[in-house]
A and B are shown apart, each in its own frame.
Chain A
């Protein structure tokens, strides 16, 4: 039994690294892009609203295949582009929801103290909105890890692909599935519980 576990762990270790790398790189780019997109939404730029609309309504796999067949670059970077486009659209609309929740009085107060509109947005409105929606944004990071599994379809050797290879070699389907499930749970469960406890702590902390 222990031998099987060690065998599977050795098989999956490089692929685990690939999934982790993909998720981390996508996370960094998605944070930057979603901040830009949310700012654009708040500034009522039609083009940004259009892009987010398209990115949310087209399934992740389609974006992945479009990137893979039409841009024709390295599969790893296709994966990053597709994940970033997909997740930052969702994160930006969550963030925009937070921006709309920020009370107008805060903004008015900041403007009266003589801050410019740009400063008011980046120093007052955005930080308050980020604090409001941070649990939901943490759950979006979980979505990045989960959606990174689809990249196995374009030949990136991530956890899902390596489990398939393992299963095809040893025919130990259940073992492979459980191993992959454990590996993904190691990545996602801590983040999910962070998001949930953050949400609950915020509910308890707020006077409402």
Chain B
């Protein structure tokens, strides 16, 4: 579909070259002292993204199955998805940290709040991804399944979902990248993800040009790598899904 382009690789190479030429060694040495700090921060970033995406996938499948079942669970799930998507992610993250302890009456650590917030935001996107794929299945398949005497439950489980799920893989992949980008919004919770670590190091070293160039380069490179990995994966799944057109990626971003 999309031709492999040399633009991203060239961009990354040019940026690295530019940084290597223009920045002298004393500025690199100041940064190198914080390398352990950066390494933990990168691990934190991936850890929180992975946790948010996993919880989001579980929650999203639950929401999507509620919407497939219909009736009052469907309405409830629909209202939840609409409500979460109407609110800014940052507000939800702050709300999970500040309002949840009051509502539930228990202490919520920043880490727990972060995972809950990332999970709940991404579950709505995953729900839409799965629902879009189910809607993409030819309506004649439903009719055919019902005509052969299968119950609604059996036709969903045995006929519709096996066709829909491979087609949902591209949308699920793009949503996972959205979760990765969302992890930058954990900044106000005090979680040491890569972005916050960079801001803190900048407060110490005061070299905004170098540090913010590096941060931009880091997120650009990792997002591109994730996109490439996911398009490889989804190409395999879409090929398996018996010619179903792949769901268009949700073009939302943080």
Cβ B219 vs Cβ A173 within 8 A: no
Q: For the complex, is B67 an interface residue (Cβ under 8 Å from A)? A: no
Q: For the complex, is A180 an interface residue (Cβ under 8 Å from B)? A: yes
Q: For window 176-190 of chain A, which residues contact chain B by CB distance below 8 Å?
A: 176-178, 180-181, 184-185, 188-189
Q: For the complex, is A26 an interface residue (Cβ under 8 Å from B)? A: no
A9 to chain B, nearest CB (A): 17
Most chain B CB inside 10 Å of its own CB: which residue of A61, A142, A150, A152 = A61
Cβ B220 vs Cβ A167 within 8 A: no
| B residues less than 8 Å from A173 (CB atoms) | 98-99, 101-102
Q: For the complex, is B253 an interface residue (Cβ under 8 Å from A)? A: yes
Q: For the complex, is B103 an interface residue (Cβ under 8 Å from A)? A: yes
B109 to chain A, nearest CB (A): 16
Q: Which residue of A lies closest to B218 (CB)?
A: A62
Cβ A59 vs Cβ B212 within 8 A: no
Cβ B216 vs Cβ A189 within 8 A: no
Q: For the complex, is B224 an interface residue (Cβ under 8 Å from A)? A: yes
Q: For the complex, is A199 an interface residue (Cβ under 8 Å from B)? A: no
- A contact face: mostly helix, strand, loop, or mixed: helix
Most chain B CB inside 10 Å of its own CB: which residue of A57, A60, A93, A145 = A57
- B contact face: mostly helix, strand, loop, or mixed: helix
What 0/1 pattern do residues 148 to 177 of A give for CB contact below 8 A with B?
111011000001100110010000011011
What 0/1 pattern do residues 75 to 99 of A give for CB contact below 8 A with B?
0000000000010001001100100
* Given known contacts A69-B208, A69-B212, A59 and B219 CB-to-CB distance under 8 angstroms: yes
Cβ A192 vs Cβ B199 within 8 A: no
Cβ B212 vs Cβ A66 within 8 A: yes
Selected from A49, A57, A147, A177, the residue in CB contact (under 8 A) with B95 is A177
- Bound state CA distance, A59 and B89, in angstroms? 13
- Bound state CA distance, A2 and B243, in angstroms? 58
What 0/1 pattern do residues 37 to 73 of A give for CB contact below 8 A with B?
0000000001001100110111111100110011000
* Given known contacts A58-B220, A61-B195, A146-B87, A90 and B212 CB-to-CB distance under 8 angstroms: no
| A residues less than 8 Å from B223 (CB atoms) | 57-58
Selected from B7, B88, B251, the residue in CB contact (under 8 A) with A149 is B88
B99 to chain A, nearest CB (A): 4
- For this complex, 24 residue pairs linking A to B, each with C-beta atoms less than 8 Å apart, are A50-B7, A54-B220, A57-B219, A60-B181, A60-B254, A61-B195, A62-B184, A62-B219, A65-B215, A90-B252, A97-B248, A145-B88, A152-B90, A167-B98, A173-B101, A174-B102, A181-B87, A184-B86, A184-B91, A185-B83, A185-B87, A188-B87, A189-B82, A192-B85
Q: Return the 9 tightest CB-CB contacts between A and B, nearest first.
A: A149-B88, A57-B223, A177-B99, A69-B208, A173-B98, A59-B181, A146-B88, A177-B95, A188-B86
**Residues on A close to B: CB < 8 A?**
46, 49-50, 53-54, 56-62, 65-66, 69-70, 86, 90, 93-94, 97, 136, 139-140, 142-143, 145-150, 152-153, 159-160, 163-164, 167, 173-174, 176-178, 180-181, 184-185, 188-189, 192
